[in-house]
Structure 1
């Protein structure tokens, strides 16, 4: 196995890993002993799911979150600099995409270390694929403002970009506030604007449906505590 920083996608839910990850990923995983992870508990659970015989206690985990300093992250890469492959694991989906793993990759690139992204599920890409919207120009905007007036302003700005630039706009919300987000979209966007709701992607109960704002009114699903991405287009 080539010495590198491997970016290891994980499942988006309780889906069996074989359904969404290539077997090659397992070959890489079993050859790594040092992992930089967003959440140690979920990372350990994922690794056990991929290989039930893996010796978790023989592995070293380096926690990575918004509070981890650049100096700590740089120190995490010492095993890689010493000739040992390392893996980066997000809590769900692809590391370094809307994920603190990007900070690790940036430092590895500056140090001239080899970085290898592996194939796996990205809710961002899969939602664009399933929406029927523009897949050549799209933007992921993360979380929108919580304050109602600011959120309404942001929604209208994103909608304006849809019409001015013909660009698909994606954003997310904390799962327990999904229904409020949906209400705000329906209240603030034009009736003809298209909205795709992509929820539980690759998981049981997957829901990907595109309708106009007008047609969604009165027919909204309950999105409480469900991982979800919202997409706008014309």
Structure 2
């Protein structure tokens, strides 16, 4: 009887947080050498966006020789209808197991999002869940996670926190949600983290300053890991006394707490 085929691993590969920005912060500034080396030898990928993954691999290739040329890399995108609304709840019928067929044949697979750590404020949890179900080892690699970097830099409670995704885009719905999150933060001490599409960052900040009580704490972390990185944190009353000079055109993480 022949021995069973060894299974590959699923590597969670973080990427730099400068995707879609005008600046390249340098791959080595964001990722350790071991993460880059592992990414260089992977030839099978499950990704949020194939184009951004090829751009990432091109950057990896400047640091370490790729095991396969870009045109030979096997890149499979998650379905857009899945990753647009999040794939942590697979009740909609999406089965990620077929995406991991190569791992069952002994090939390592990399899971990657457009920026940051896959499955953290990004799609990919369905693939991780499928790997566990199939008995495939899951290996998270070291790299940038904007939410954790922002929380550490904010000075807000890092012992009890929650990421709540996006707030409503309309002004009235946004204000109501801000008040709900503020009340929760004041009652429990739990820091509330959320994000927005960069072109709406200025409107969100304005809504926060108009809605939050002066005694609440607000932190905004823009362009984490980029040369233009700025972090501003303090009481809302103090925010109103000084003009914010933040690069709000960059990806940002917003935090409220007590």
TM-score (norm 1): 0.94
Q: How far apart are the structure 2 equivalents of 1:65 and 1:86?
A: 17
Paired position in structure 2 for 1:220: 244
Paired position in structure 2 for 1:36: 46
SS in structure 1 at match of 2:231? strand
Q: 2:55 aligns with which of 35, 39, 45?
A: 45
Paired position in structure 2 for 1:176: 199
- On the 8 A contact 1:175/1:223 being kept in 2, the answer is no
Q: 1:109 aligns with which of 132, 136, 144?
A: 132
Query: Is residue 57 of structure 1 aligned with residue 67 of structure 2?
Result: no
Q: How far apart are the structure 2 equivalents of 1:146 and 1:197?
A: 18
Moved over 6 A (4+): none
- On the 8 A contact 2:222/2:246 being kept in 1, the answer is no
Paired position in structure 1 for 2:169: 146
Q: How far apart are the structure 1 equivalents of 2:245 and 2:173?
A: 25
TM-score (norm 2): 0.86
Paired position in structure 1 for 2:209: 186
Structure 1 residues without counterparts, runs of 5 or longer: none
Query: Is residue 10 of structure 1 aligned with residue 5 of structure 2?
Result: no
**Aligned length in residues:** 232
Q: How far apart are the structure 2 equivalents of 1:202 and 1:184?
A: 26
Question: Greater CA deviation, 112-121 or 222-231?
Answer: 222-231
SS in structure 2 at match of 1:27? helix
Residue deviations 1:21-44, cap 9 Å, x none?
Answer: 111112211221101111111111
- On the 8 A contact 1:179/1:222 being kept in 2, the answer is no
Q: 1:65: Cα distance to partner? A: 4.4
Q: 1:60: Cα distance to partner? A: 0.5
Paired position in structure 2 for 1:207: 230
- On the 8 A contact 1:10/1:91 being kept in 2, the answer is yes
Paired position in structure 1 for 2:81: 67
Q: 1:59: Cα distance to partner? A: 0.7
Paired position in structure 2 for 1:22: 32
Q: How far apart are the structure 2 equivalents of 1:112 and 1:39?
A: 26
Q: 1:75: Cα distance to partner? A: 1.4
Q: 1:147: Cα distance to partner? A: 2.2
Aligned-residue CA RMSD (Å) = 1.5
- On the 8 A contact 1:66/1:100 being kept in 2, the answer is no
Residue deviations 1:171-209, cap 9 Å, x none?
Answer: 111100111101110111101111111000000110011
